[in-house]
Amino acid sequence: MNDKVLSVIIPSYNMEALLPRCLDGLCCCSERELLDVIIVNDGSRDGTLKIAQDYASRYPDFIRYIDKPNGNYGSTINAALPSLRGKYVKILDADDEYDSIALSKLLHSLTTCVSDIVVMPFREVREHKRDIVVRYDTMGREPYQYNHQYTLDDILPDGYIRFLLMHGVAYRSALLTDNGYHQSEGLSYTDVEWVTYPLYWASTVTFSDCCVYRYHLDREGQTMDPAVLSRNIGQLIRVTGNLLTFHNNANLDKMSAIRRLWLEKYLENRLRVIYKHYLYDIRSENFDAQELRAAEDALLPLANKIGLHPSLYADNKIVRIDLISYWNNNGERLPKWLEITNNTLDKLAHWFHDALRME
Protein backbone atom coordinates (compact mmCIF):
# COMPACT_ATOMS: atom_id res chain seq x y z
CA MET A 1 0.00 0.00 0.00
CA ASN A 2 2.97 2.34 -0.55
CA ASP A 3 0.97 4.20 -3.20
CA LYS A 4 -1.15 5.85 -0.51
CA VAL A 5 -0.07 9.44 0.03
CA LEU A 6 -2.47 10.63 2.74
CA SER A 7 -4.27 8.80 5.52
CA VAL A 8 -7.38 10.64 6.73
CA ILE A 9 -8.62 9.73 10.21
CA ILE A 10 -12.32 10.48 10.75
CA PRO A 11 -13.33 10.27 14.44
CA SER A 12 -17.07 9.61 14.51
CA TYR A 13 -19.52 9.58 17.39
CA ASN A 14 -23.28 9.75 16.71
CA MET A 15 -22.68 11.40 13.34
CA GLU A 16 -25.19 9.60 11.11
CA ALA A 17 -26.66 12.92 9.95
CA LEU A 18 -23.34 14.46 8.86
CA LEU A 19 -20.97 11.59 8.09
CA PRO A 20 -22.33 11.04 4.54
CA ARG A 21 -21.57 14.67 3.63
CA CYS A 22 -18.07 14.24 5.04
CA LEU A 23 -17.43 11.05 3.04
CA ASP A 24 -19.05 12.21 -0.19
CA GLY A 25 -16.49 15.00 -0.48
CA LEU A 26 -13.68 12.46 -0.28
CA CYS A 27 -15.35 10.18 -2.83
CA CYS A 28 -15.50 13.08 -5.31
CA CYS A 29 -11.73 13.55 -5.18
CA SER A 30 -10.15 12.87 -8.59
CA GLU A 31 -6.99 11.51 -6.91
CA ARG A 32 -8.74 9.24 -4.44
CA GLU A 33 -6.49 6.32 -5.29
CA LEU A 34 -3.87 8.19 -3.27
CA LEU A 35 -6.17 8.35 -0.23
CA ASP A 36 -6.42 6.05 2.78
CA VAL A 37 -9.58 6.90 4.75
CA ILE A 38 -10.10 5.42 8.21
CA ILE A 39 -13.50 6.00 9.82
CA VAL A 40 -13.30 5.32 13.57
CA ASN A 41 -16.70 4.68 15.12
CA ASP A 42 -16.37 5.59 18.78
CA GLY A 43 -19.19 3.49 20.22
CA SER A 44 -21.95 5.46 18.50
CA ARG A 45 -25.53 4.75 19.50
CA ASP A 46 -27.06 5.83 16.19
CA GLY A 47 -26.47 4.64 12.62
CA THR A 48 -22.87 5.87 12.31
CA LEU A 49 -21.40 2.36 12.16
CA LYS A 50 -23.84 1.26 9.48
CA ILE A 51 -22.90 4.26 7.32
CA ALA A 52 -19.18 3.52 7.77
CA GLN A 53 -19.74 -0.11 6.77
CA ASP A 54 -21.75 0.92 3.72
CA TYR A 55 -19.08 3.31 2.40
CA ALA A 56 -16.29 0.81 3.13
CA SER A 57 -18.14 -1.86 1.15
CA ARG A 58 -18.72 0.49 -1.80
CA TYR A 59 -15.20 1.98 -1.79
CA PRO A 60 -12.93 -0.77 -0.43
CA ASP A 61 -9.95 0.59 -2.35
CA PHE A 62 -9.62 3.63 -0.08
CA ILE A 63 -12.17 3.56 2.77
CA ARG A 64 -11.87 1.42 5.90
CA TYR A 65 -13.52 1.55 9.31
CA ILE A 66 -12.68 0.68 12.88
CA ASP A 67 -15.43 -0.06 15.38
CA LYS A 68 -14.50 0.44 19.03
CA PRO A 69 -16.10 1.17 22.41
CA ASN A 70 -16.57 4.80 23.33
CA GLY A 71 -13.36 6.39 24.60
CA ASN A 72 -13.63 10.00 23.41
CA TYR A 73 -11.63 11.82 20.77
CA GLY A 74 -8.07 10.80 21.59
CA SER A 75 -8.92 7.11 21.64
CA THR A 76 -10.09 7.27 18.02
CA ILE A 77 -6.75 8.71 16.92
CA ASN A 78 -4.81 6.09 18.90
CA ALA A 79 -6.91 3.33 17.35
CA ALA A 80 -6.14 4.48 13.81
CA LEU A 81 -2.42 5.30 14.06
CA PRO A 82 -1.09 1.70 14.00
CA SER A 83 -2.83 1.01 10.68
CA LEU A 84 -1.83 4.09 8.69
CA ARG A 85 -1.05 3.41 5.03
CA GLY A 86 -0.40 6.97 3.84
CA LYS A 87 2.92 8.78 3.81
CA TYR A 88 1.13 11.66 5.57
CA VAL A 89 -1.76 11.73 8.02
CA LYS A 90 -4.48 14.30 8.63
CA ILE A 91 -7.64 14.42 10.74
CA LEU A 92 -11.13 15.19 9.45
CA ASP A 93 -13.94 15.54 11.97
CA ALA A 94 -17.13 13.83 10.84
CA ASP A 95 -19.16 17.05 11.04
CA ASP A 96 -16.76 18.83 8.67
CA GLU A 97 -15.65 18.14 5.09
CA TYR A 98 -12.79 18.53 2.63
CA ASP A 99 -12.88 20.54 -0.58
CA SER A 100 -12.41 17.78 -3.16
CA ILE A 101 -10.64 20.00 -5.73
CA ALA A 102 -8.18 21.39 -3.18
CA LEU A 103 -7.66 17.86 -1.82
CA SER A 104 -6.69 16.57 -5.26
CA LYS A 105 -4.14 19.37 -5.56
CA LEU A 106 -2.77 18.62 -2.09
CA LEU A 107 -2.43 14.91 -2.81
CA HIS A 108 -0.48 15.64 -5.97
CA SER A 109 1.92 17.92 -4.07
CA LEU A 110 2.39 15.40 -1.24
CA THR A 111 3.72 12.77 -3.63
CA THR A 112 7.04 14.62 -3.76
CA CYS A 113 6.97 16.31 -0.33
CA VAL A 114 9.35 15.01 2.35
CA SER A 115 8.82 17.55 5.16
CA ASP A 116 7.75 16.46 8.63
CA ILE A 117 4.87 18.95 8.73
CA VAL A 118 2.70 20.43 5.99
CA VAL A 119 0.81 23.60 6.94
CA MET A 120 -2.11 24.86 4.87
CA PRO A 121 -4.98 27.36 5.10
CA PHE A 122 -8.49 26.21 5.99
CA ARG A 123 -11.96 27.64 5.54
CA GLU A 124 -14.34 28.58 8.34
CA VAL A 125 -17.91 28.01 7.17
CA ARG A 126 -20.96 29.60 8.80
CA GLU A 127 -24.50 29.49 7.52
CA HIS A 128 -25.76 32.80 6.10
CA LYS A 129 -22.30 34.36 6.38
CA ARG A 130 -19.36 34.66 4.03
CA ASP A 131 -16.60 32.10 4.49
CA ILE A 132 -13.40 33.12 6.23
CA VAL A 133 -10.09 31.64 5.10
CA VAL A 134 -7.60 31.26 7.93
CA ARG A 135 -4.00 31.70 6.76
CA TYR A 136 -0.63 32.12 8.41
CA ASP A 137 -0.16 35.71 7.38
CA THR A 138 -0.07 39.24 8.74
CA MET A 139 -2.42 41.83 7.23
CA GLY A 140 -2.68 39.79 4.06
CA ARG A 141 1.05 39.22 3.58
CA GLU A 142 2.10 35.58 3.48
CA PRO A 143 5.81 35.38 4.27
CA TYR A 144 6.61 31.85 3.11
CA GLN A 145 7.04 30.35 -0.32
CA TYR A 146 4.59 27.55 -1.07
CA ASN A 147 5.89 24.00 -1.57
CA HIS A 148 9.35 25.01 -0.33
CA GLN A 149 10.93 23.15 2.57
CA TYR A 150 11.96 25.19 5.62
CA THR A 151 13.49 24.14 8.89
CA LEU A 152 11.42 24.97 11.96
CA ASP A 153 14.37 26.81 13.47
CA ASP A 154 14.40 29.07 10.40
CA ILE A 155 10.76 30.12 10.64
CA LEU A 156 9.83 30.02 14.34
CA PRO A 157 11.72 33.24 15.20
CA ASP A 158 9.65 35.14 12.59
CA GLY A 159 6.64 35.22 14.89
CA TYR A 160 4.12 34.44 12.15
CA ILE A 161 3.36 31.02 13.65
CA ARG A 162 2.31 31.20 17.30
CA PHE A 163 0.38 27.92 17.21
CA LEU A 164 -1.00 25.37 14.77
CA LEU A 165 -4.61 24.24 14.39
CA MET A 166 -5.72 20.72 13.57
CA HIS A 167 -7.64 21.84 10.49
CA GLY A 168 -4.54 23.24 8.81
CA VAL A 169 -1.85 20.62 9.44
CA ALA A 170 -0.72 17.23 8.13
CA TYR A 171 2.16 15.17 9.50
CA ARG A 172 4.55 12.69 7.99
CA SER A 173 3.09 9.46 9.41
CA ALA A 174 6.45 8.05 10.48
CA LEU A 175 7.10 11.15 12.58
CA LEU A 176 4.23 10.13 14.83
CA THR A 177 4.66 6.38 14.83
CA ASP A 178 8.45 6.42 15.27
CA ASN A 179 8.12 8.70 18.30
CA GLY A 180 5.30 6.75 19.89
CA TYR A 181 2.70 9.49 19.63
CA HIS A 182 -0.21 8.85 22.00
CA GLN A 183 -3.19 11.12 22.57
CA SER A 184 -4.92 11.34 25.95
CA GLU A 185 -8.15 9.36 26.12
CA GLY A 186 -11.43 10.02 27.90
CA LEU A 187 -11.05 13.80 27.47
CA SER A 188 -12.22 16.48 25.10
CA TYR A 189 -9.85 19.12 23.66
CA THR A 190 -7.06 16.63 23.00
CA ASP A 191 -6.73 17.98 19.46
CA VAL A 192 -4.44 20.47 21.22
CA GLU A 193 -2.05 17.58 21.87
CA TRP A 194 -2.20 16.68 18.16
CA VAL A 195 -0.82 20.09 17.23
CA THR A 196 1.72 20.27 20.07
CA TYR A 197 3.65 17.05 20.68
CA PRO A 198 4.91 16.64 17.07
CA LEU A 199 6.59 20.05 17.36
CA TYR A 200 9.07 18.48 19.77
CA TRP A 201 10.18 15.98 17.11
CA ALA A 202 9.77 17.68 13.73
CA SER A 203 12.64 19.33 11.86
CA THR A 204 11.14 20.54 8.59
CA VAL A 205 7.94 22.19 7.40
CA THR A 206 6.37 22.97 4.03
CA PHE A 207 3.58 25.48 3.41
CA SER A 208 0.82 24.63 0.96
CA ASP A 209 -1.76 26.93 -0.62
CA CYS A 210 -4.33 24.09 -0.77
CA CYS A 211 -7.35 25.19 1.28
CA VAL A 212 -8.64 21.70 1.94
CA TYR A 213 -10.50 21.74 5.25
CA ARG A 214 -14.03 23.16 5.49
CA TYR A 215 -14.59 23.78 9.20
CA HIS A 216 -18.31 24.12 9.97
CA LEU A 217 -18.94 26.36 12.96
CA ASP A 218 -22.74 26.46 13.19
CA ARG A 219 -23.44 23.06 14.74
CA GLU A 220 -24.69 23.17 18.33
CA GLY A 221 -22.63 21.31 20.92
CA GLN A 222 -19.17 21.97 19.48
CA THR A 223 -16.52 21.80 22.18
CA MET A 224 -15.33 25.40 21.65
CA ASP A 225 -18.85 26.81 21.96
CA PRO A 226 -18.62 29.14 25.01
CA ALA A 227 -21.49 27.36 26.77
CA VAL A 228 -19.94 23.93 26.18
CA LEU A 229 -16.50 25.17 27.21
CA SER A 230 -17.94 26.49 30.46
CA ARG A 231 -19.28 23.03 31.29
CA ASN A 232 -16.08 21.26 30.26
CA ILE A 233 -13.37 23.72 31.30
CA GLY A 234 -12.01 21.12 33.72
CA GLN A 235 -11.12 18.89 30.78
CA LEU A 236 -9.27 21.71 29.03
CA ILE A 237 -7.38 22.36 32.27
CA ARG A 238 -6.35 18.69 32.39
CA VAL A 239 -5.18 18.77 28.76
CA THR A 240 -3.18 21.93 29.49
CA GLY A 241 -1.61 20.12 32.43
CA ASN A 242 -0.72 17.27 30.06
CA LEU A 243 1.10 19.72 27.78
CA LEU A 244 3.09 21.18 30.67
CA THR A 245 3.96 17.70 31.97
CA PHE A 246 5.04 16.59 28.50
CA HIS A 247 7.39 19.57 28.26
CA ASN A 248 8.84 18.97 31.71
CA ASN A 249 9.48 15.32 30.84
CA ALA A 250 10.89 15.98 27.36
CA ASN A 251 14.56 15.69 26.55
CA LEU A 252 15.28 19.34 25.90
CA ASP A 253 19.07 19.06 25.84
CA LYS A 254 19.08 18.20 22.14
CA MET A 255 16.65 20.98 21.31
CA SER A 256 17.78 24.34 19.95
CA ALA A 257 17.33 27.47 22.04
CA ILE A 258 15.05 28.79 19.29
CA ARG A 259 12.72 25.81 19.63
CA ARG A 260 12.70 25.90 23.42
CA LEU A 261 11.87 29.59 23.52
CA TRP A 262 9.07 29.15 20.99
CA LEU A 263 7.57 26.24 22.94
CA GLU A 264 7.69 28.22 26.17
CA LYS A 265 5.81 31.09 24.53
CA TYR A 266 3.36 28.59 23.10
CA LEU A 267 2.72 27.04 26.51
CA GLU A 268 2.21 30.50 27.96
CA ASN A 269 -0.46 30.97 25.32
CA ARG A 270 -2.17 27.74 26.39
CA LEU A 271 -2.26 29.03 29.97
CA ARG A 272 -3.61 32.31 28.63
CA VAL A 273 -6.59 30.45 27.14
CA ILE A 274 -7.56 29.24 30.63
CA TYR A 275 -7.19 32.68 32.17
CA LYS A 276 -9.12 34.28 29.30
CA HIS A 277 -12.06 31.98 29.94
CA TYR A 278 -12.25 32.96 33.61
CA LEU A 279 -11.18 36.59 33.49
CA TYR A 280 -12.79 37.75 30.28
CA ASP A 281 -15.06 35.36 28.36
CA ILE A 282 -17.61 34.28 30.95
CA ARG A 283 -20.03 36.79 32.40
CA SER A 284 -18.75 38.43 35.56
CA GLU A 285 -21.72 37.15 37.58
CA ASN A 286 -20.70 33.58 36.67
CA PHE A 287 -17.08 34.06 37.72
CA ASP A 288 -15.97 31.70 40.49
CA ALA A 289 -12.71 32.84 42.10
CA GLN A 290 -12.27 29.53 43.94
CA GLU A 291 -12.58 27.63 40.68
CA LEU A 292 -9.84 29.71 39.07
CA ARG A 293 -7.60 29.28 42.10
CA ALA A 294 -8.10 25.50 41.86
CA ALA A 295 -7.05 25.64 38.20
CA GLU A 296 -3.96 27.65 39.18
CA ASP A 297 -3.13 25.09 41.89
CA ALA A 298 -3.19 22.37 39.23
CA LEU A 299 -1.22 24.23 36.55
CA LEU A 300 1.10 26.79 38.08
CA PRO A 301 3.50 24.34 39.81
CA LEU A 302 4.11 22.77 36.39
CA ALA A 303 4.36 26.17 34.71
CA ASN A 304 6.80 27.46 37.31
CA LYS A 305 9.22 24.59 36.54
CA ILE A 306 9.43 25.93 33.00
CA GLY A 307 9.54 29.57 34.08
CA LEU A 308 6.35 30.66 32.33
CA HIS A 309 4.87 34.12 32.96
CA PRO A 310 1.67 34.52 30.92
CA SER A 311 0.01 37.89 30.41
CA LEU A 312 -3.46 38.65 29.08
CA TYR A 313 -4.61 41.81 27.35
CA ALA A 314 -7.89 42.59 25.60
CA ASP A 315 -7.98 41.79 21.89
CA ASN A 316 -8.53 45.42 20.90
CA LYS A 317 -5.01 46.45 22.03
CA ILE A 318 -6.36 49.82 23.14
CA VAL A 319 -7.04 49.23 26.84
CA ARG A 320 -3.61 47.97 27.94
CA ILE A 321 -4.32 46.34 31.30
CA ASP A 322 -2.87 42.90 32.02
CA LEU A 323 -5.90 40.95 33.27
CA ILE A 324 -3.76 38.29 34.93
CA SER A 325 -1.71 40.85 36.84
CA TYR A 326 -4.91 42.62 37.88
CA TRP A 327 -6.28 39.30 39.16
CA ASN A 328 -3.07 38.51 41.04
CA ASN A 329 -2.94 41.94 42.65
CA ASN A 330 -6.63 42.39 43.45
CA GLY A 331 -8.14 38.90 43.61
CA GLU A 332 -10.91 39.93 41.22
CA ARG A 333 -11.75 40.69 37.59
CA LEU A 334 -11.72 44.10 35.97
CA PRO A 335 -14.51 46.50 37.01
CA LYS A 336 -17.75 45.97 35.09
CA TRP A 337 -17.59 49.29 33.24
CA LEU A 338 -14.11 48.50 31.95
CA GLU A 339 -15.19 45.03 30.80
CA ILE A 340 -18.05 46.56 28.81
CA THR A 341 -15.65 49.03 27.21
CA ASN A 342 -13.24 46.25 26.30
CA ASN A 343 -15.99 44.06 24.87
CA THR A 344 -17.24 46.87 22.66
CA LEU A 345 -13.77 47.65 21.37
CA ASP A 346 -13.08 43.93 20.83
CA LYS A 347 -16.18 43.51 18.68
CA LEU A 348 -15.05 46.37 16.47
CA ALA A 349 -11.53 44.93 16.21
CA HIS A 350 -12.87 41.46 15.35
CA TRP A 351 -15.24 42.87 12.74
CA PHE A 352 -12.38 44.71 11.04
CA HIS A 353 -10.10 41.65 11.16
CA ASP A 354 -12.79 39.30 9.78
CA ALA A 355 -13.58 41.76 6.99
CA LEU A 356 -9.98 41.47 5.82
CA ARG A 357 -10.14 37.65 5.76
CA MET A 358 -13.52 37.13 4.08
CA GLU A 359 -13.73 35.47 0.69
Mean pLDDT in residue range 13-20: 97
pLDDT for res 160: 80
In the chain, where the domains are located:
6-216, 226-357
Tens of pLDDT, residues 47-58: 999 999 999 999
Confidence of residue 136 (pLDDT cuts 50, 70, 90): confident
Residue 101 pLDDT > 50: yes
Lowest model confidence (mean pLDDT) among 63-67, 91-95, 222-226? 222-226
Amino acid 139: pLDDT: 47
Quick one: pLDDT band at residue 355, thresholds 50, 70, 90?
low
Mean pLDDT of 316-330: 85
* Mean pLDDT calculated for residue range 152-175: 91
pLDDT band at 224 (very low <50, low <70, confident <90, very high): low
Which one of 2.170.120.20, 2.40.100.10, 3.20.20.70, 3.90.550.10 gives the CATH number of domain 6-216?
Answer: 3.90.550.10
Show the beta-strand stretches assigned E in the chain.
6-12, 35-42, 63-68, 88-91, 97-98, 117-119, 122-125, 132-134, 149-151, 169-172, 204-207, 213-216
What's the pLDDT tens digit per position in 245-294? 999 999 999 899 999 999 999 999 999 999 999 998 888 888 999 999 99
The helix/strand count (H/E) of the chain reads as 12, 12
* Global pTM value: 0.89
